Amino acid sequence: MHIDHLTKILRQSLGNSTTISSWNMVGGGCINQCYQLITKSQVYFVKCNKHRYLDMFEKEHQGLVALSNKCNLLVPNPVDSGIVEDYSYLVMNFIDSSTPSTCYWEDLGEGLAGLHGHTKEQFGWQADNYIGRLPQSNIWHQTWTDFFIQQRLQPQIRMATDTGVLPSEVKADLEKLCSEMDQLIDHEPPALLHGDLWSGNIMTGPLGEPCLMDPAVYYGHREIELAFTKLFGGFNIKFYEAYNHCYPLAAGYLQRFDIYNIYPLLVHLNLFGGGYLAEIKQTLSAYR
């Protein structure tokens, strides 16, 4: 992206007197172009993409606001989202990274437990949003089982079936698991979730504190959030100990983690192809 476009984005977000002193292209995932923009008074982080991704940025903006209002962990402050010419964008304050503090993982566990303490009468969210670049439906449901099946598993199963990456026998096993879900999962009140919590969506802030990024918020069962943290290697054991000390998980949660992680595995199957099919089949084999 040309500097002229970045200047227009900041001026549309902050005012026409805003001037960029320097800028750098930085990492920010595989979907967007990301930039560090330095002005005289502030440093900003800007995500850019094609025009059609505006809704994704607006929902991320809303999710960051929700986390900031309900969570005592560091969260980037969203400034603005919108469109300049052919580009959609999201502007937020830039978080300087540093070395994790000695209590980094304990603080993350305690902070997440605090976030999960916020509840609602139903499972869902006020609007649909995105998991990665895939749409995530958040229609309200009275029961977690209905929400998990209808708003999480079934949309991903349909997508994988339509694109041909989900074999018919695996689809049948998934449908069987859905029919037995009430007997397999624990029931708790809705909890406010980050919604996409893995190591790639946390960072270390300027004081060594944990910082949450890239949310896909909704009110769901908190076990699905903890399960996802285990999927790609897991967090430090101190995180789980601190979380359980603040908000103990019900007995048998590790077995239910496997069920909940079928959702992100299906998401990855739809995003990246058949490399994730073996893990899905392995999990389903325990429930045939």
Give the residue numbers marked as catalytic: 196
For residues 161 and 267, give the distance between their C-alpha atoms in angstroms, rounded to a whole number.
13
Query: What is the three-class DSSP state of 280?
Result: helix
- Scored b (16 or more CB within 10 A) or e, 205-219 reads beeebbbbbbbbbbb
Which sign does the torsion angle of CA 100, 103, 106, 109 carry?
A: negative
What is the phi/psi pair of residue 23, to 5°?
-150, 155
Beta-carbon contacts of residue 4 (< 8 Å; ≥ 6 apart): none
Distance CA 44, CA 30 (A): 20
For residues 79 and 90, give the distance between their C-alpha atoms in angstroms, rounded to a whole number. 8
Which helix H or strand E contains 54, and what residues bound it? Answer: helix 54-70
In the chain the beta strands, taken as DSSP E runs, fall at: 22-26, 33-38, 43-50, 78-84, 87-93, 129-131, 134-136, 191-193, 202-204, 210-212, 218-220
